[in-house]
Amino acid sequence: MTQNFRKVALIGKYQRQVSDAASEKSRLALEDIGKFLVEQGCEVMLEAETYANTGLSGYSVAVTKEIGAHAELALVVGGDGTMLGVGRQLASYGTPLVGINGGRLGFITDIALEDYQCALAPILHGDYEEDVRPMMHARVMRGEECVYEALALNDVVVNRGSTSGMVELRVEVGGVFVSNQRADGLIVASPTGSTAYALSAGGPMLHPALRGWVLVPIAPHTLSNRPIVLPDSSEIAIEVVGGRDMSANFDMQSLATLLHGDRILVKRAEHSVRFLHPRGWSYFATLRKKLRWNEGSS
């Protein structure tokens, strides 16, 4: 069931570590989008950090909790990394997200900045495709104590330090022993994350409608140790058996240092992320564009 959106949160990536010209470009883009939303009859809520970094005025300022409670739609201006962070924060509120990308189009930020008005106007008035993506809930257990906990939309990655050797990991699925793996690390990826690090490590792409995960070893010691697709109804347990300087990464945006004996438990999260796309959006069209499948064809 579609709806019209009137209370819209505007969230932007502000690039502090780039040139003044690039930073000004980001601010001007956010300013332009804000004006367009007002022209469309929307009440704009500016995310607090976005406001602090840009100084845009004329809008109410809201923290994440307030956006989740009051906004009908969140408009995220930035790349996939920005969207991953926002998605994790707003998933529990059920707030739908739309992504506008000012650079190269992403897998989940699929509206080009130069085309945003034509693509966004119909969405605001209820004409859109909805795309629901599951998240992972991960815990790092040290004995009986949970020492770290995080959500991930893309992946949970256990890997070695940059100067250390292989790690040895014991893997269980649904309480059943699968294997001991010696590798540079191990990736547990959702269908959304199957086109990220897991793909570069040799894993398959999973259609986002699938209820599953892919388990992908990173540079395995044994070549017969291959990626495997698993149902997301079972908890995956990864125990650190051997190795040095190990860590667990969650969407590559948060990190936990690991010790021997630690267990990383991964299960399907309670909440999913809702993405909205322009009418006619297709996952396969995104793959063709991002992976350049049509290059060289007649």
Which are the catalytic amino acids? 80
Phi-psi region of 118 (alpha: psi -120 to 50; beta: other; left: phi over 0): alpha
Residues comprising the chain, all counted: 298
Q: To which residue do tokens 């599953």 refer?
A: 212
d(CA 245, CA 220): 18
d(CA 63, CA 72): 15
d(CA 50, CA 9): 11
d(CA 89, CA 251): 13
